[in-house]
Amino acid sequence: MKGISRILPIIFLASSVFAQEEKVIAKVNGEPILLSEFNKNKEMLSEQYASLAPDFLSQKDASEKMDKMVMDKLINEALLRQKAEAMKIKVYERQIDEGVAEIKKRFPAESSVQADAILSEELKKQGLTMAQFREKVKRDLMARKLIEETVRPKVKSPQEKDIKAYFDKVKAILDGKPRDTSISEQDYEEYSNIASKFKELISERFRLRHILIKPESDSLTDKTKALNEASRIKKELDGGADFEEMAEKFSKDKQSAVRGGDIGYVISGMLPEELEKAVFKMCPGQISQPIETKFGYHIVRVDEKRIAQKLKYEFAKEDISQIMMQNAFADEVEKYTENLRKEAKIEYFGK
């Protein structure tokens, strides 16, 4: 088990297709790895860690570790693309169309027309024609298919006793039991991250919407003005106004406003203290009075409340099985790429 490094899987159709023609920092059998590819992948990795394992980013050598992981990933992807070409892995036009569509889904677009426009602009910036872009997508799909056909079949479903052993380690962390010193640092970090995810699922949690009114400054005048606006909105809500429409129209939290104020599920510790005190006393359907935090004045509606529950093996079994299979898959991919590296010429030029 490679612990937290598993957070960076082999991901195609995300990194190399928009690489700019600039500084070469490495070559894999003559194929260049560009600084722009490296920086984009490191940014993606940082976002993954921020979401899945934020404690890692506070480590002193986090940046250095990520540099190595990103470089290894880019080298491995290049080797897999080259191997796929050597094996003449077949990819059809329909699959390339699907690959392009998959990339466009990641654009901040509200329609397919807007996504097409963003893609065209991005290709123009990179000096790529659509044909060149599709060729890059094709090579990445060939590498993905190579992995699925040669590596995936080696991965077997974990045995029941192994799933149960994994569950017991996660449960021990959730229950606050002393750490088992026989577990390595990397493995313990992985179990802790999984425990955190299960904690979110089993803790008391609330599905919330909110309308945020921000004062223009910290002056008493602006704060009073913002509070008066929040109070006016609350009065309209009490009179039957639609919460989602009001959120879209008035909330200064633009990210949630477009979803009718929806901020998803929250558990204890995720909200500012002032909000948490109020929210955890509310019932589904209830709308709060304006609540002041450092962000401004919030009007909150509780859409759903789920009571806390204990983590049961039957509940976690399938998820843990999938995690273990993904870990085994990552190990097999690593073995496969290590063998490719033995025969490769890899040159490093520095950033």
Q: What is the per-residue pLDDT for 57?
A: 84
pLDDT in tens, 157-195: 999 999 999 999 999 999 999 999 999 988 998 899 899
CATH fit for domain 205-306, picks 2.40.110.10, 3.30.420.40, 3.30.110.30, 3.10.50.40: 3.10.50.40
CATH numeric code, 3-155+329-348: 1.10.4030.10
Query: Same CATH topology for 3-155+329-348 and 205-306?
Result: no
Three-class SS of the chain? CCHHHHHCCCCCCCCCCCCCCCCEEEEECCEEEEHHHHHHHHHHHHHHHHHHCHHHHCCCCHHHHHHHHHHHHHHHHHHHHHHHHHCCCCCCHHHHHHHHHHHHCCCCCCCHHHHHHHHHHHHHHHCCCHHHHHHHHHHHHHHHHHHHHHCHHHCCCCCHHHHHHHHHHHHHHHCCCCCCCCCCHHHHHHHHHHHHHHHHHHCCEEEEEEEEECCCCCCHHHHHHHHHHHHHHHHHHHCCCCHHHHHHHHCCCHHHHCCCCEEEEEECCCCCHHHHHHHCCCCCCCECCCEEECCEEEEEEEEEEECCCCCCHHHHHHHHHHHHHHHHHHHHHHHHHHHHHHCCCEEECCC
| Mean pLDDT in residue range 286-292 | 96
pLDDT above 90 covers a percentage of the chain that reads: 72
Q: What is the per-residue pLDDT for 44?
A: 85
Mean pLDDT rounded to a whole number for the chain: 89
Kindly tell me if the per-residue pLDDT of 1 is higher than 70. Answer: no
pLDDT in tens, 216-270: 999 999 999 999 999 999 999 999 999 999 999 999 998 899 999 999 999 888 8
* Domain map (residue ranges) of the chain: 3-155+329-348, 160-202+312-316, 205-306
Kindly tell me if the per-residue pLDDT of 53 is higher than 80. Answer: no
pTM score of the predicted model: 0.67
